[in-house]
Each structure stands twice: as C-alpha cells, then as structure tokens.
Structure 1
Amino acid sequence: MRLFVGLLPPRQALDELARALEPHRAAWPELRWLNAVNWHVTLSFLGEVPEAALPGLHVRLARAASRHEPMTLSFAGGGAFPSARRARVFWTGLRGPELRLVRLADSLGAGARRAGAEQTDRRRLRPHLSLARARSGVDVQDLVDAFAAFAGSSWEADTVHLVRSHLGATVRYEKVGDYPLAAPASDGRD
C-alpha cells in the first residue's frame, strides 16, 4: 500500500485558503490545480509499504508523535518547487514553529524506518501544502508574488495521520491511523 504521514488541516483553514486562491486559478490554466478535498501537509512520504509492516508502523508512529507537543500553525504566502521561474509545484507555506515541525517529521521518518517502511524521499522537510502542479516548468513568479500577502488564520495541529493513497483516474486518500501529539507544552522555544 502507498502511504504517507501528514497533517490534515481543519476544514475552516482549508476553506479560507480556497477562497484566497480562487481569484488566481483562472489566470493560470497551465497549472493542474489539486482538489481541495485532498489537501494535506506531508511530513513523511513512505511510498509502497507491505501490509505486514502496518502493525509495527502504528506502534512506532504513535510513539514518535507522543514525544511532540501540539503546534499552532497557519498558511502563509506562496512558493514553487524547484523555483518560481520553472515551477512544477505551486504551494502555500506554513507559519509556526518550523524547527519543531521539522523535528516532528524527522522523528516520524525514523519511526517508520524502524518499522520497516523506508522513506522514499529523505530530503529535509520544507513545510508546505501543494496547491497546483505543472507537467513542465512554468514561470509562476507573478503568482508567487500575488499570493505573497496571504496570511491564513491559525489552527492547532494536534494529531498526525497515516494516510493511504489510492491512485487512478482520480486520487483518493484514506486515513489508516491517527496519532496524537501528546508531549506536555514546553516554554515555546524552537
């Protein structure tokens, strides 16, 4: 099964983002806009994982998540991978305790590896939510500039989710596990 670990932002934060994005969509027909129903923040992409690894994966992810405290996040601005001048992905960023979010992603990835689920992408997390894709590099600098002022309302990330991707004519996601961020609050420093 094809799996990733991520955050599923609350509906009100996603609706706010969709409203902010709406005036820009028609001006960029060369982008394939992702369905808002599937919007998520990937923390660790695991790729194909044997079903036999699932019990151990649940244990390791629950343990990893329990060592991290909930965080207040918000969506902010826009950017592109690999760059705004030759974008293949247009995204919105996350504002919040970035270092803690990166440490959470690292911890979840390490737990997944210990459970036998090797991450297919081990690059350091750059927190974002993908909004659109392009088959070939598209210059989206004007879109990135136009979306730079977007600052969404804050929301509480208190659970990470193990999600299965069902690929086909349309992509469908299925939650396989939920793991609370359960560490007591610290002094707020990264």
Structure 2
Amino acid sequence: MRLFVGLLPPPPVRDELILALEAHRPRWPGLRWLEPASWHVTLSFLGEVPDRVLPELRARLADAATRHPPLTLSLTGAGAFPSAGRARVFLTGLGGDRPGLARLADQVGAGALEAGAGQTDRRRFTPHLSLARCRADTDVSALVEAFGAFSGAAWEAGTVDLIRSDFGGGTTGGGGARYETVEEWPLTARAPRGQS
C-alpha cells in the first residue's frame, strides 16, 4: 500500500483556512484546489510499503511519537514549489515550533527507513500544507503575494498519522488522491522546561 506519515490540522484550522481562501479561489480557476478534508503536513513520504514491513513500521512510528511532545504550530504565508513563477504546487507554510517539527520529521523518516519503508533519497524537509496543484508550470506570483499575509491561529499537533493514499479522486476538478488514516500515535513526551 502507498503510505506517508503526516500531521492533520484540526477542523477549526481547516475552517479558518477555507474562509481565508474564499476570495482567492474564484480568481484562479485553472488550479486544482485540494479538498480541505485531504489537507495534511507530510513528515515522511514512504511510497509503496509491503505488508510484511507494517508491524516493524508501526513499532518505529510509535517509538518516535513517544519521544516528542505535542507541537504548537500555525499555518502562515504562501509559497509555491518549485517557484512562484513556474509553480506545480501552491501552498501555505508553517510557523510555531519548526525546530521540533523538523526533529520529528527526521526521526519518523529514519525509523521508516530502519523498518524497511521510506525513501533512501529523502529530500530536505520543507514544512508546508499543499492547497492547490497545477497541471503545467504556472505563474502564481500574484496569488502568493495576495495570500502571503495569511496568518492562522495556533493549534496543537498531538498525533502522528500513518496515512494511505489511493489515487482516483480527491481534488476539486477531478483526479488526485484520497487519503485514509491507517493508524495514529499520540506525541507523548514532556516538553522541555520553558516550552509549552
């Protein structure tokens, strides 16, 4: 099955983002806007994972979760991959405990590799939440500038989710993927002194 590990923003955060995007979406009908129910922050993309690897993968992810406290995060700003001038993905970034988020992503990715899942050519972690995709390189500079001032409310990411992706439906305008949480683990470590 095709899997990744991620964080899911809670419904109030999704609702706030939906409202903030309302004025922008009609001006960009050529973008394939992702459904809010599928919004997530990817910590580690695993790809196709054989069933025999799942028990060890689950154990490694559970272990990683126990080593990290809940993270206070917020959605903020706008950007695009690979660039605003020739975008394939329009996104919002993350603020808050970015160092803790990077450590969690690193440990989750390392654990997945040790379990025999995951990508050996792991890219540098760039925390973001994808909002829309482009079929061809698209200049979204004006959209990035217009949405750049977005700053969402802080929220607590308290679980790590193992998510299955099935292609065939899931974006407005057709295509895309449908996501289903296979299992989740609470982030249970205590925050270091002076942090909340």
Tell me the TM-score range normalised by the shorter chain. over 0.9
* Mapping of residues 1-190 of structure 1, within 5 Å: 1-119=1-119, 122-170=122-170, 171-187=177-193
Q: Is the 8 A contact 2:75 2:93 kept in 1?
A: yes
Secondary structure, in 3 states, of the residue corresponding to 2:149? coil
2: CA distance between counterparts of 1:28 and 1:51? 41
Q: Is the 8 A contact 1:47 1:120 kept in 2?
A: no
Q: Is the 8 A contact 2:163 2:183 kept in 1?
A: yes
1: CA distance between counterparts of 2:121 and 2:92? 20
- In structure 2, the CA distance between the partners of 1:52 and 1:169, relative to structure 1 (3 Å rule), is same
2: CA distance between counterparts of 1:120 and 1:47? 11
2: CA distance between counterparts of 1:3 and 1:188? 35
Q: Is the 8 A contact 2:45 2:118 kept in 1?
A: no
Q: Deviations over 1:74-108 (max 9, x none)?
A: 11010000011111000001111111111110100
TM-score in terms of structure 2 length: 0.93
- In structure 2, the CA distance between the partners of 1:165 and 1:85, relative to structure 1 (3 Å rule), is same
TM-score in terms of structure 1 length: 0.96
1:118 positional shift:
2.4
2: CA distance between counterparts of 1:104 and 1:68? 7
Q: Is the 8 A contact 2:169 2:178 kept in 1?
A: no
Q: Is the 8 A contact 1:45 1:120 kept in 2?
A: no
The alignment covers a number of residue pairs equal to: 189
Q: Deviations over 1:17-38 (max 9, x none)?
A: 0110011001112211111111
Instruction: Structure 2 unaligned segments of length 5 or more: list them.
Output: 171-176
1: CA distance between counterparts of 2:124 and 2:148? 23
1:127 positional shift:
0.6
The one-letter code sitting in structure 2 at the alignment partner of 1:150 is: F
Cα RMSD between the aligned structures?
1.3
Q: Deviations over 1:131-181 (max 9, x none)?
A: 000011111111011111111111001110001111124422111111111
Deviating beyond 4 angstroms after TM superposition, the runs of 4 or more aligned structure 1 residues are none
Q: Is the 8 A contact 2:90 2:131 kept in 1?
A: yes
